[in-house]
Structure 1
Amino acid sequence: MKRFLSAAALAFAVVITAAQVAFAQVPSDARFAATTLNLSAYGDVKAAPDMATITLGVQTEAATAALALAANAEQMNRVMAALKRDGIAERDIRTAQLNVNPKYVYEQNQPPRLTGYDASNQVTVTVHDLKRLGQTVDAAVGAGATNVNSVAFGLSDPTAAQDAARLAAVRALQAKAELYARALGHPVVRLVSLSEGASFAPPVITEPVMVAQSRMVQPTPVSPGELQVRIQVSGVYELAR
């Protein structure tokens, strides 16, 4: 009987010890959920862009799809040659879109009437020397480009600006945590976790611009302005009870 009781007591002690170990290993969320702050903040920095991406193209019309595409190819080849003469490397010119579409006239109570075909070829051009950006646009238009669809400014290496925004975001997060802690009367004990989400949104000119085929008298003015680099961080802080 004594042996049986000793075995039972030993088993009970093992269960208690296991429960204590398990409790010690419970995720911290369950132990201090009532004394935590879940906050987010962001840091912004301004940076001058050092590159731009232009989307431009050629649109042609002809009686057949083959003629429209052939005319387009000839005109686009002149545009690309002009870009290369202006100092744009071949790796910085990329075809973005190539379309050939029929053109119809719609009249009341009549079936659609085919009148010809449109061919369109769009390329994206990366310009690394912003002082020559307007000149590059003029060179493309002078060689036959019929539209400039967008200009987007950016940073060739955003690392430094992003790191500065990270530091600003962490400082803002820490200041916010300390503010809440003072208001609640519970001092900050430690930072439990930190996560990051980044957003980099350069200004973009998106309105399409149809270009007249005429000799440029004045160079095209282009103003790059500044870019805003933003980093957002979120953190969980434990407060003293």
Structure 2
Amino acid sequence: MKKSVLAAILSASLLSATFAITTPNAQASDINFPHIETIGTSQILVKADMAELNVEVVTEAKTPSDAKAGSDKAVADFIDRLTKAGVKREQIQSANLQLYPNHIYDPQTRTNNKVGYKASRKVTVTITELDKLNDILDSALAQGINRINNIAFKSSKEAELVEEARLLAIKDAQHKAKSLAQGFGERLAGVWEIRYFDQRPIQPVMYQMEASAKANVAESYQEAQMTISDRVEVVYRLK
């Protein structure tokens, strides 16, 4: 997978690090020995190779059973097309159903009048071959799916990339500490403390669209990219 490191991983920038030397008599710090504190960061830009598609069908009818039947048929036809196109059944989630009365507001009487029922079902599809995405969208619309909620682009190697970002952040902290110590004529004596907190869950690239905008999808998904970053804080002793 092609990827580029956006952050200056092996940078000696002083802006991302804190230099602090204290004496045993110092009271302002809990660390009462000479030390350097650095913050290592990393950021990787990755081209997405899979997507999670969330679509929905909303049907209206006079009775709740008819509304449900119309929604169920659209979902069943869509799933049938997906499986014939090579999408595995475990990559399709479609078990939800919402059914509620459909009202129209009458401004003269200032009342909501029930005119029937609405049924709504969502389908989430994990697409591992992005070249099939546009055809799947067309298929969804052809089978009565009338709302495309969003497309979340992801990477199939997310776990590996998270680990890579963490190691790059560690190297960044190490390099900054060595550079700072040498610049001030000091030497590192080893790591005293490591502060690390799991980063927020990786946010996939989101693409929202209306059903009428499907013609723009083919161009947008091919260049979809996501960012994976990490951060670590390290306290080094000075000799």
Determine if contact 1:39/1:235 at 8 Å carries over to the other structure.
yes
Is the partner of 1:33 in helix, strand or coil?
Answer: coil
Give CA-to-partner distance per residue, 1:19-63, whole Å, 9 cap, x none: xxxxxxxxxx96x43433443222112222221110012110011
Quickly say closer, same or farther: Cα 1:184–1:98, change in 2 above 3 A: farther
Quickly say closer, same or farther: Cα 1:185–1:193, change in 2 above 3 A: same
Is the partner of 2:115 in helix, strand or coil?
Answer: strand
Extract unaligned runs of 5+ from structure 1.
1-28
Determine if contact 1:60/1:118 at 8 Å carries over to the other structure.
yes
State percent identity of aligned pairs. Answer: 24
Quickly say closer, same or farther: Cα 1:110–1:49, change in 2 above 3 A: closer
Larger Rg computed on CA atoms:
1
Correspondence for 1:39: 38
Aligned length: 206
Return the alpha-carbon distance in structure 2 between the equivalents of residues 157 and 83 of structure 1: 24
Correspondence for 1:131: 131
Correspondence for 2:204: 202
Displacement after TM superposition at 1:190 (Å): 1.1
Q: Say whether residues 1:78 and 2:80 are aligned partners.
A: no
Quickly say closer, same or farther: Cα 1:237–1:53, change in 2 above 3 A: same
Correspondence for 1:173: 173
Is the partner of 2:234 in helix, strand or coil?
Answer: strand
Give CA-to-partner distance per residue, 1:103-143, whole Å, 9 cap, x none: 22223443321111111100110011111111111122222
Q: Return 47-56 or 89-98, whichever deviates more.
A: 89-98
TM-score, scaled relative to structure 2: 0.75
Q: Return 94-103 or 62-71, whichever deviates more.
A: 94-103
Determine if contact 2:75/2:123 at 8 Å carries over to the other structure.
no
Determine if contact 1:147/1:211 at 8 Å carries over to the other structure.
no
Correspondence for 2:234: 235
Is the partner of 1:178 in helix, strand or coil?
Answer: helix
Correspondence for 1:112: 112
Give the structure with the larger helix fraction. 1
Displacement after TM superposition at 1:180 (Å): 4.2
Determine if contact 2:56/2:147 at 8 Å carries over to the other structure.
yes
Correspondence for 2:62: 63
Letter matched to residue 210 of structure 1: A
Following superposition, which runs of at least 4 residues in structure 1 exceed 6 angstroms of deviation?
none
CA RMSD of aligned residues (A): 2.6
Is the partner of 2:94 in helix, strand or coil?
Answer: strand
